[in-house]
Amino acid sequence: MATDKQLSMAASAIALRGVRLFLSAGRNAMERRAQPAAEPAKHRPKPKPVVPGARPPQKVFDMLARTSKFNKHELEALYAMYRRLVTAAQGILPPTAIGQPPAKVDGIDQGTFRDVMHNTFDMITEEAILERIWITWDRGASGGEGALKFEAWVRGLSVLLRGTEEERRNHCFAVYDLNADGYITRDEMFVLLKNSLLKQPGDEDPDEGVRDLVELVLRKMDVDKDGRVSPEDYKDAVEQEPLLLEAFGQCLPSRRHALAFLKTLNPKPKDLRS
């Protein structure tokens, strides 16, 4: 019986993943076709050089070497990359309404963060998911507002690239828990899955298919049958079927893209930690 249950869960997870990826791919293709052509490089304004902000104290690097999964050499490479991202983003900010230079942002802004997720880690996922990933990265006492500072940049990448199974699972759950109340509810599942849906002409009730997917997920993940998925439900479901880890949208880079990124930090990077 246990084997039959595991096979049933695996089949359902594969079906869910296939439907979600199909819908997402169609929607992303439509959005790409709708986007205007990129402006030729020769007509783009050149970024203005910006003097980088103060380097964090050495004790910050020492602390991150102890608490993150990066060594000191990798942290230096991450800091150099961080400064390049901040400087490039600052250089393309428009002037203020009265013609004054834009206010300096000492950190990675949301637009730059989104570009990194898309272009570096190939996370072609729903905008709602990218928004949630941005919100869940720690930005200190600002309450989830403002730019991403160096320490938060390192801690977030530590989970994405070398996180333990528990860290990766907690990351995905936090992204899907839209109101941060500790549960993934029917309504939240509906919002997340609906964002993958590409509406076709003539569809009378496109939400019906989404509701069916929600019920399928609940049957497989709601272990205590209370109509919502708790962290314990999510943990049990993912342990039985790892494909359910990203059931509601891509929250993590693929192993291939993670390894490619790590190679830019260290000529001989350590293997990803499981």
Helix and strand numbers (H, E) in the chain are 11, 2
For the chain, what is the domain count?
1
pLDDT-based confidence at 85, cuts 50/70/90? very high
Residue identified by tokens 């001989």 is: 268
Residue 256 lies in domain: 49-96+103-265
Q: Which CATH number goes with the domain that contains 90?
A: 1.10.238.10
pTM of the model: 0.73
User: Among 115-124, 156-165, 205-214, which stretch is predicted with the lowest mean pLDDT?
Assistant: 205-214
Residue 172 lies in a domain: yes
Residue 82 lies in a domain: yes
Provide the CB-side half-sphere exposure for 237 (13 A, CA).
Answer: 28
Strand partners of residue 108: 148
The percentage of residues in the chain with a pLDDT greater than 70, rounded to a whole number, is 66
DSSP string for 52-96: --PPPPHHHHHHHHHHSS--HHHHHHHHHHHHHHHHHHHHTPPPP
Instruction: State how far the Cα of 136 lies from the Cα of 179, in Å rounded to an integer.
Output: 11
Residue 23 lies in a domain: no
Residue 77 lies in a domain: yes
Residue 113 lies in a domain: yes
The percentage of residues in the chain with a pLDDT greater than 90, rounded to a whole number, is 47
Q: Which amino acid is at 151?
A: E
Residue 28 lies in a domain: no
User: Does position 140 have pLDDT exceeding 90, yes or no?
Assistant: no
Residue 234 lies in a domain: yes
pLDDT-based confidence at 102, cuts 50/70/90? low
Asked whether 66 and 60 are in contact (CB, 8 A), the reply is: no
Tell me: the pLDDT tens digits for 14-58? 545 544 544 444 444 444 444 444 444 444 444 444 444 678 899
Residue 175 lies in a domain: yes
